[in-house]
Structure 1
């Protein structure tokens, strides 16, 4: 396609001295020699957003502006994702000192304006290509096209017919100066002098061994076309000089894919380029990489690059996860992201004469703004009694800084709380996760108790995240709930010879209920008052209730034993209404027993072994009134149950108490040879009585304290002021009351108003007894 007449030309360049840079902070500057260009990268934190590079040679200092960079082989770009500004300089750039196409000296100034002050820093580097030069090399940079050909090329054995068309303007030329002519599509443009071409932005250079042609994109003499759906910009220039009857001519063609890349929604960024006009007849070698580093096609494919060739069009698919790519998060209502890749691509082709052409592309590919929603997963296990919420797919440039839990704000370190916990998780795909744990019983958790005995736990979470380094915040909201079928606490109860033991394990929602004994809340103080043995730690509640303690109910009393029942009530902590109860009834046995009920009934099991006279028949027992005999008897023990104001019961009144006293007789007679007599009595607080005497009803708010008093003989008669020598009380360790279980009647009684009225009643009652 290119017709080249043989020639050799040399061009000398001036020399200049170099200087070392100084004043740039360590780590802020990076300079590196690559295969075909030199690169400088400087941190934006040092340069600011508007740095200026200047090229320096022996002729002066030249500002590298946008237009000048494209004309002279420089590419300057800001890379905010990387945080630096980058300059790439072709080895054949305008002000580079070239020594035999093997050693290249670069000299630049970096001008920086900070706080109104301008500073300039000298940057220099010497580079040598790591690869030999191919006969023809084409560079498709971001802002220009460059082609260089070896200046000594063997003349081809034959020419293509179309190549002769370039001879027409050369043959008609009357000057020996070098000229250039352009062919645009099928149109042959008039020739122009090199000086005029340079004014239009074209650059021509001749080194010791190569001829270089460079042009910015979008020149009037270039033309755009589409090859297999891929836009291509092409420049076809012919450089010639007529020397008498000899014409020296070099055909320079450069074409670059202008495809900007596309995102295929499958996690790949796609870029295409056709092989024409450099179609290879002897195979094509492809090298691919990012950020100026090339690897062979098989290596790239091992890195998940996808390379294909369809209809002489190369397609490269770059995975979004490719190492060397860059991503950035933004907030546009929600979280979005962009991926940027600095693609470096090389084709090595050979024409029919096995002349090698090396084509290199520098292209920046970027995805559109892609949604990147973070997500939450409710990982709560109800049995663990704690919310566990996972926040996932958080980009590495996004940081979780705070949370609002049901409106309360917390920083992620949770310094002000002991129960919250958050754990950061780093995943291999460069995303983060956060695991939040909040116990159900934490004060921030909302709790509702429904009528169907279901607990509703709710946690509304507002995650506050910020994008680095701008610290731009955005929020992610979620709400999680947990449901527990709740019921009042249930106790396990165990009987023993000494009482009843209750126990239960704590649950986090047990605070919904209060535990009471009767109307009194169960507290350590109440337990100490009534002789209960209570242990209450973080795991469980243990309560041992000794027999005859306050709160017992007794029934089925026989000489063989009786049943004692104890009830624990569970009340709603807000309404105090009883929701449930734990009742345990256990059989007990004792030699003697006395119970004084709230309804004024005395129940006695007494040991009469010492009250039976010698030679007396066993089991012949009665009270003061002989008709009040024992309900059960078994030789030396007798069971009585009678209303306290019957059977000849005497009354003893003292300050604050009233005592009902009776005696158990052997056949109603006193025998001198009996060792003792047995007195039984029940004492009630006056304040608890509704009436002191009534022929129909006795009622007390509390059970009485009973005593069985064994007194030594002789005793002349029954007295209200007997001093006992031995007595059995139903509550040996405390003033707890032994009760008989009975429901209170619905009849309402008024209380006795004063002690003087009680004394008057007692006097009248005593008079009636004596009259009888």
Structure 2
């Protein structure tokens, strides 16, 4: 039982590993031509391991490379065409020949499939409509074949030496079996039996009406002869048989051009063959030429209409095939750069007659290959500057090449629908295509650098295209670089007013790093913002600067009882220079403040029971700028109107006094107090470190520290002052001892640097 199971398993394996199909698949086609039978199968169906077998009544014969050349088969893999082809001569070994008029072919196509083999049986019967010429020569890709009609007389042009040598050899032969003697230049070789010739690769066959000889190229008995500058391989043989005193002799000659062709600068593949079909028979004249690509023959006039050039000169026929001829194939190839080559499967027919009116028909099948030709792709800069987008076209890309990757400034990028950049494929009618790449100027991949020479922003984009040749997936690279200059403007802040100050906002641009932001002469930094009381916020999107009122940098104007204007300016300078390129100035109205110290001292004084307009300062000529029923506004330069300067270790204080008369409305029995003078001391205090320019013209020397004091009126409490150096801007008259003062102190946050226009004091008196 176990043995039976094993036997069944072996039989099943045998069936599965070798299956035979009688149905011809659609991927296989068979065609009958004038002088050969063609089988073409798609490579996508056959794969790389397929092969053919010839079949006749005696068995199955694998068609190997050597067997094909001897038996009249030519097998080719044509990857550019996408097919595997078999051409079989009508006189091939295993063909069923019916009176040279009907030829039946039987083949097997064997392909590999899922670890096994599948065999497709192929058979076809062909009846050529073109009658046979008395002498026909076929120059195939791997063999040459000559056939002559059985009743052909001895050719007139045969060389006498060859003929006499053959006759003498035939008469000297002791056998009646057919023998063959090969002829080489000035050399007569020993005759051999046909069976021996077969072992050396020569095949002789006698059909009902024709004698056939076939031999692979490069046999020992063939020779190369140059005819009019064209290399030709020649085989010259004589068949003979002695029947008593009668000798039967047949001369067989075949000559095939071995030209590999050349490519000229005009874009033509040029192939040459001798005009004389047989260099041993010089009498052949009036050659007719038909030519085609891919097996179809065209008359000379029709071929020339399609771009072929057929010329006869110096005893040669020259065929020029345009590089873009229909039926040809091109292929891209990578050898550092991109190259291409063209393949043409040339089919040529020459027909000529000799002096005996015997026609000779010669057909050549040649595969011509151009040398590697440079095939550069190109890039064109199509950028429209106003769009601020790089537009680069990569063109003249062959159909067997595709774009596989792109690097922008040495960074690989994946192109998606969400990307700011894009690539679009453009297809053309000449079997080429291109790609349009778009990258915005402001994309992070673009290198942006300010050009001082051009005074513009320089945008640079280096593109490295990776292209791949199919189906080998062989990559090559194409590099290009584009540059664009664009005018740049300094950054501009948006500014809005608030109750407590001014808010500045700057939206970041990629090239804003080219400028520095200054407040006056100082660079805006987080440290400066902290020192001056600004609120600075900076992120990847924008910069926010909140400038509270009375902080460093404000300029005040239009000071009135109902309010004043505050102006703040931000300067934009080229990075690392003092050249101002732009500025943002914002002026905002603010409600009345009690005190402003900014080079010009502005103070609002409010009291009841008096006349504000009659108030004065230490210099009684200085009166209010504006006055109302209960308020007065004084505005003065710090070192004017009798102001005093008090210099301490770390601070300097400017001081003045507001004097006013009380005008109370008393009852009748109360004494008159209209002459009482009330005084209020006002001060502006600055850090001493900020006044180095103010005192750059003066030198102070003192052995002891001066002591200053303030005399108060009887209506106020005296405030003891710390020792200080007191400087008066003008000479002062001593004030009455009965004063009432109410000091108004400036908050520490209101300390300001004194502007440069106060550097020159009118005079200084040391007290």
- The question of a shared fold, defined as TM-score above 0.5 by the shorter chain, is answered with yes
C-alpha change, 1:379 and 1:23, in structure 2 (3 Å) is farther
Aligned residues of 2:686 and 2:753 also touching (Cα < 8 A):
no
* Mapping of residues 166-245 of structure 1, within 5 Å: 168=164, 169-170=166-167, 173=171, 178-187=178-187, 189=189, 192-240=192-240
C-alpha change, 1:697 and 1:215, in structure 2 (3 Å) is farther
Distance 1:71 1:58 in 2: 19
C-alpha change, 1:482 and 1:207, in structure 2 (3 Å) is same
Distance 1:300 1:240 in 2: 43
Report the Cα offset of residue 384 of structure 1. 4.3
Residue ranges of structure 2 left out of the alignment (5+ in a row): 1-18, 496-501, 527-532, 535-540, 644-652, 666-679, 692-720, 729-739, 744-749, 761-767
Partner of 1:8: none
Partner of 2:326: 323
Partner of 1:642: 636
Work out whether 1:285 is the aligned partner of 2:288.
Answer: yes
C-alpha change, 1:209 and 1:515, in structure 2 (3 Å) is farther
Distance 2:104 2:759 in 1: 115
Aligned residues of 2:345 and 2:368 also touching (Cα < 8 A):
yes
C-alpha change, 1:682 and 1:99, in structure 2 (3 Å) is farther
Aligned residues of 1:555 and 1:741 also touching (Cα < 8 A):
no
Distance 1:310 1:594 in 2: 115
TM-score (norm 1): 0.66
Partner of 2:276: 276
Distance 1:57 1:103 in 2: 16
Higher relative contact order (CA 8 A, sep 6+): 1
State the SS of the aligned residue for 2:21.
coil
Aligned residues of 2:425 and 2:436 also touching (Cα < 8 A):
yes
Aligned residues: 657
State the SS of the aligned residue for 1:284.
strand
Partner of 2:475: 473
Partner of 1:731: none
Aligned residues of 1:395 and 1:430 also touching (Cα < 8 A):
yes
State the SS of the aligned residue for 1:218.
coil
Q: Deviation digits for residues 304-328 of structure 1, max 9, x if unmatched?
A: 4333222121222333333333333
Distance 2:461 2:517 in 1: 29
C-alpha change, 1:89 and 1:162, in structure 2 (3 Å) is closer
Partner of 2:136: 137
Report the Cα offset of residue 90 of structure 1. 0.9
Distance 1:568 1:23 in 2: 92
Partner of 1:399: 402
Aligned residues of 2:277 and 2:352 also touching (Cα < 8 A):
no
State the SS of the aligned residue for 2:303.
helix
Distance 2:297 2:657 in 1: 116
Partner of 1:767: none
C-alpha change, 1:682 and 1:285, in structure 2 (3 Å) is farther
Partner of 2:620: 627
Report the Cα offset of residue 119 of structure 1. 4.3
Report the Cα offset of residue 54 of structure 1. 1.7
C-alpha change, 1:167 and 1:462, in structure 2 (3 Å) is closer
Q: Deviation digits for residues 560-582 of structure 1, max 9, x if unmatched?
A: xx998653333679x89995332
Report the Cα offset of residue 232 of structure 1. 0.4
Partner of 2:253: 253
Distance 1:288 1:343 in 2: 8
* Mapping of residues 384-533 of structure 1, within 5 Å: 384-411=387-414, 413-414=415-416, 418-449=419-450, 455-484=457-486, 486=488, 488-489=490-491, 509-510=511-512, 512-513=514-515
Q: Deviation digits for residues 518-538 of structure 1, max 9, x if unmatched?
A: 78799xxxxxx99xxxxxxx9
Distance 2:511 2:310 in 1: 62
Distance 2:89 2:393 in 1: 51
Q: Deviation digits for residues 583-616 of structure 1, max 9, x if unmatched?
A: 6699x999x9999451242289x9xxxx999xxx
Could you say what the CA RMSD is over the residues aligned between the two structures, in angstroms?
A: 6.0
Aligned residues of 1:596 and 1:682 also touching (Cα < 8 A):
no
Report the Cα offset of residue 361 of structure 1. 0.9
Aligned residues of 1:181 and 1:192 also touching (Cα < 8 A):
yes
* Mapping of residues 686-765 of structure 1, within 5 Å: 742-743=755-756
C-alpha change, 1:589 and 1:425, in structure 2 (3 Å) is closer
Work out whether 1:41 is the aligned partner of 2:26.
Answer: no
Distance 2:566 2:302 in 1: 87
Distance 1:276 1:316 in 2: 15
State the SS of the aligned residue for 2:66.
helix
Distance 1:670 1:383 in 2: 75
Distance 1:205 1:661 in 2: 139
TM-score (norm 2): 0.66
